[in-house]
Structure 1
Amino acid sequence: MTQPYDTAQPERTAVDALPGVVALDFGTNWCGYCNAAQGIIESALAPYPNVRHVKVEDGPGRPLGRSFRVKLWPTVVVLKDGQEIARVVRPGDTSELDQALQGAGAA
């Protein structure tokens, strides 16, 4: 079952301090693009059990999304030890996200 986007906003400093590879997934629960992409995102992440998937609800007044300059949903920002390695906006298939995760050293 797909987990909803979390309305609780982690602080940017907490996100920057996360160790390892993190897939920071920005979107909203009511967004059609987000709902359509959830299966793609989950399938792309499935081969990488060590990657932390953090789903964050975004929107006006949401500081975490603004700090990453998120413009469209869903946007998956791939971090390694707090540093942005890649981002995938509105993935249409698993290949883009898979490539981003491999580029971050997820194995």
Structure 2
Amino acid sequence: MPYAAQHLAQPPSRDDVDRLTGATLVEFGTPWCGHCQRAQPLIEQALKDQADLSHIKVEDGPGQRLGRTFGVKLWPTLVFLKDGKEVARLVRPQALQDISDAVQSTVAQP
């Protein structure tokens, strides 16, 4: 699945996320967050040609439970999962290399 430019209209439940198979990036943020906006080109570039990684973009904020279950406090928070289990996390990433490294390590997980 390629880079997801838009946040999901309805976020998945934590149970749904825990049941995911394969490599997944769950991105928490908001469309109006300046940090999130600055990170988008980096995330998009890191996910280019990554057919083995799903990208789920979740709008976070008050009343949004999924982010709380992951302990999200700052945006964007990138949670990398392998078969529904967290294997890496980046908070407010500012370097393409950091995101690319997390993508590669997640995809390479057995």
Superposed pair shares fold, TM > 0.5 = yes
1:99 is aligned, of 94, 98, 101, to 101
- Which structure 1 residue ranges, 4+ long, deviate > 4 Å from structure 2? none
Q: Normalising by the residue count of structure 1, what TM-score does the alignment of the two structures yield?
A: 0.92
Contact 1:48 / 1:106 at 8 angstroms: preserved in 2?
no
2:53 paired with 1:39: no
Fraction of identical pairs, as percent = 48
Please report how far the alpha carbon of residue 101 of structure 1 lies from its aligned counterpart in structure 2 after TM superposition.
1.7
> Match of 1:104, SS?
helix
Higher mean C-alpha displacement, 35-44 vs 5-14: 5-14
Aligned counterpart, 1:66: 68
One-letter amino acid of the structure 2 residue matched with residue 62 of structure 1: Q
Counterpart CA distance in 2 for 1:3 and 1:47 is 15
One-letter amino acid of the structure 1 residue matched with residue 11 of structure 2: Q
One-letter amino acid of the structure 2 residue matched with residue 19 of structure 1: T
> Match of 1:73, SS?
coil
The 5 Å alignment of 1:15-94 reads: 15-94=17-96
* Aligned CA distance change for structure 1 residues 2 and 9 (closer, same or farther; 3 Å): closer
User: Over aligned residues, Cα RMSD in angstroms?
Assistant: 1.8
Gaps of 5+ in 1: none
Deviations 1:34-89 (A, max 9, x none): 11110101111113122000000000111100000001100110000000000111
* Aligned CA distance change for structure 1 residues 19 and 101 (closer, same or farther; 3 Å): same
* Aligned CA distance change for structure 1 residues 52 and 24 (closer, same or farther; 3 Å): same
Count of residues paired in the alignment: 107
Counterpart CA distance in 2 for 1:7 and 1:67 is 19
